[in-house]
Amino acid sequence: MTHEQSRKYCKGSLRTIFRENVEKAVDKDLEEIWSEVYGLHDIETSDSDESVSLDEGETWERTSVTVSKKRHFEERKSLGGHTTLLKSSKVVLTSGPSSKPKSRMTGFGTPGFPVLSRILNPLVEGPPYFYFENVASMPKKEWENITRHFDGVEPEFVDSKYFCACRRPRGYVHNLPVEGRKLILPEPPMTVQELLPRTTEYWPSWDPRTKLHCINTRSACNSICSGLRNLLLASDGADPPLDVQKHILKKCSSWNLIWTGPGQLAPLEPHEIELLLGFDEDHTRGASNKTDRIQSLGNSFQINTVAYHLSVLKPLYPTGMRVLSLFSGIGGAEVALHKLGIHLHYVVSVEINQNNKIMVESWWKKSGQRGKLKQLDNITDLTSDVLQDLMEEIGEFDLVIGGSPCNNLSGNNRVSRVGLAGPDSSLFFEFTRVLEDVRKVMHRRKR
């Protein structure tokens, strides 16, 4: 038996074992899975943490579940589809007796918190690896829909407060390994006071914030800040009354206002947002105006969080990677991989916003990339034939990564939050289409 025949035989055996296990799995309703996540449904505007006590050495058992119902699995199996099975997995403390999980937004494991192992269906294992991101607070039914379109691979819900000085609750659907993750160094400031030390001189004792809320695509207008300044002036240098403090803190939380002078609040500047999200200062400078820079940053990855997940790829690709970056934005995926020390052999970046494309091209040159960057405009033009031609030119993609528009999904959208049926967020289906086309082309090339 040749090496290739042996590899195919082993993979076939894994498929058989996997299907046998699925058929024995307990049929559980999705409600049991999503209730854990949506207990913190409004986490983007909430400061509360739900504590779960865990003594030193204690372990958790995670119940075996199918991400979709057994009937759904049978239907997909008959159509040649896939479903993900999670084995019963022990959750073990990773950093001593002081480690106590404080919320459910720790995914399959964040630094200092329990690590969950999982078993993926061999049919969805990489390469190509895939990594998709979107807002955690989208309607529950939409995450169920996304899970189905990723062949049952469940999302990993993580809040970036564990990686930086701001909250950013997101869902990440991927087929990456979850063991062996590493932080990028140096580790970033974990509080806003550490990140922006000049604010500490003016930060009042009655403002308890140490982390900012989720970075959004817009900034507070002058009238909000001037109104708060007038309230503070009325106190004549003393601490304002409790009801006024509460009003001010609510505005500060909603708009991520920081203290820039005595009794003076202001929104974050673009370069401060860049640092919060893990980019180098001035990453977005020079390609667009302040308003557009803030909007582009509000739609980007949090670099430290994403790099932590992607770090498992470094030992798998010691000589570099070929990356298909969909909805590239300002290049968060590329920056994360670069900060991990992963050489980018070839990146095909798909982004329709011309200012964002300029930012990515500028970063590519400034960071001294030695690989090749190919920029495309519209994901809908990335047909199977185009992908075939690209892979004939550069080889097969190791990673397909991106996050589709969240305009119609975010809890901050009170006007057109219509879900994946919305004109912008429906582009999600282009991500899964392209991923499937990449798999098909790679399969044909192997025959």
Q: Strands 264-266, 321-326: parallel, antiparallel or unpaired by DSSP?
A: unpaired
Mean pLDDT along residues 57-83: 33
Instruction: Give Cβ neighbours of residue 231 (< 8 Å, ≥ 6 apart).
Output: 240, 244, 247, 248
Assess contact for 103 and 40: CB atoms under 8 A: yes
Q: Tens of pLDDT along 274-305?
A: 999 999 999 999 888 999 999 999 999 999 99
Residue 415 confidence class, pLDDT cut points 50, 70, 90: low
Name the residue type at position 33.
I
The band of 402, judged by pLDDT with boundaries at 50, 70 and 90, is very high
User: Do 20 and 58 meet the contact criterion of CB atoms below 8 Å apart?
Assistant: no
What SS3 state is found at 326? Answer: strand
The per-residue pLDDT for range 163-185, each reduced to its tens digit, is 999 999 999 999 999 999 999 99
Task: Name 60's bridge partners.
Answer: 91
pLDDT score of 409: 66
Report residue 235's pLDDT band, with 50, 70 and 90 as the boundaries.
confident
- Determine if the pTM surpasses 0.75: yes
Mean pLDDT of the chain: 79
**Alpha carbons 329 and 351: distance in angstroms, whole number:** 6
- List, for residues 189-199, the tens digit of each pLDDT value: 999 999 999 99
Residue 310 pLDDT > 50: yes
Q: Which of 65-74, 221-230, 431-440 has the lowest mean pLDDT?
A: 65-74
CB atoms within 10 A of CB 327: 24
Instruction: Tokens 């309703």: give the residue.
Output: 29
Give domain limits for the chain.
Answer: 3-188+296-446, 194-277
Asked whether residue 249 carries a pLDDT value surpassing 50, the answer given is: yes
pLDDT of residue 426: 80
Task: Determine how β-strand 85-86 pairs with β-strand 65-66.
Answer: antiparallel
Q: Which two tokens stand for residue 426?
A: 């429906």
pLDDT at 414 (0 to 100): 59
Distance CA 12, CA 243 (A): 66
At which residue do the structure tokens 């989208």 appear? 138
Inter-residue contact 380 to 430 (CB < 8 Å): yes
The model's pLDDT over 80-118, given as tens digits with 9 standing for 90+, comes to: 333 333 332 223 333 333 333 344 689 998 988 888 888
